Amino acid sequence: MKKILVTGALGQIGSELTVKLREIYGNDHVIATDIKINDTSEAATSGPYEILDVNDGKAMVALAKKYKVDTVMHLAALLSATAEAKPVFAWNLNMGGLMNALETAREVGAQFFTPSSIGAFGPSTPKEDTPQDTIMRPTTMYGVNKVAGELLADYYFHKFGVDTRGVRFPGLISYVAPPGGGTTDYAVEIYYEAIKNKKYASYIDKGTYMDMMYMPDALNAIISLMEADAATLVHRNAFNVTAMSFDPEEIAAEIKKHIPEFELSYDVDPVRQAIADSWPNSIDASAAKEEWGFKVKYDLAAMTKNMLEKLSRKL
């Protein structure tokens, strides 16, 4: 990777990935794009920033040619809970944007990355140690988008030779970007509320296990996969990755080690709970470990300590 175009650069992943890529490859070598105007975040101000609607394929190609990019990282998407509330809009944005990004990579001969999600799995998927290759029949629009996206990325590799790569992310936890409409966002909100109010009402019910990952590990996974030797990649797209699996009570217990007065209660959201219930409890990331050396640094204890330290300073 030498010249990288990032779509959705001001979103949950992009806001941190853009900054990290610039630290590694140089500020001028990472072109951030998003639909936000006059943004003052580090991702928008530390290097080239262009306004881009990912549904405008011609504009995306034009930017890729203007900056002579050799890598496209397509992150722009509507997340799970928001997509369920706006399914037609989600399809148009998630699938239309992805098609435009893949076409851009094909036209300029660029390497390509886009993330999939554990949302690609469904109620009939094995819930424990979910295999890399398994049945995928999601019951949400977001999940349908992700399965279709995985297949589309594979198609562009086999049909056109585009070097497409991707991972299936679990819930991502970060102190930088605020929650953005995902089902796993409770695991971000809980830290904010623990610091601000010493209590949190979880919209996900007790005993609900979901896979999670701390953002620094997620960013390293993206870069490691993109830098990996293509000859070692058997699956190429949509590698299972994970760092931990916990329920609301376990994350609350870890927080109480640092904030003893913290109290957890429940105000379950039926829509997001139904989405969570359709996802695995834990997934098997052995293919990513074997094919490109995937590894993580943070478990629940280390993540909680770091999150509370960083958010305390931020808030």
Q: Which are the catalytic amino acids? A: 142
How far is C-alpha 55 from the geometric centre of its chain's CA atoms? 20
Return d(Cα 38, Cα 54) in angstroms, integer.
18
Residues 6+ apart with CB under 8 A from 305: 258
Give the residue among 221, 281, 209 at the shortest CA–CA distance from 248. 209
Residue 282's identity, in one-letter code, is: S
Structure tokens at 62: 């034009």
Count other Cβ atoms within 10 Å, centred on residue 269: 16
- Residue 31 sits at φ, ψ, to 5 deg, of -100, 110
Residue 190's identity, in one-letter code, is: I
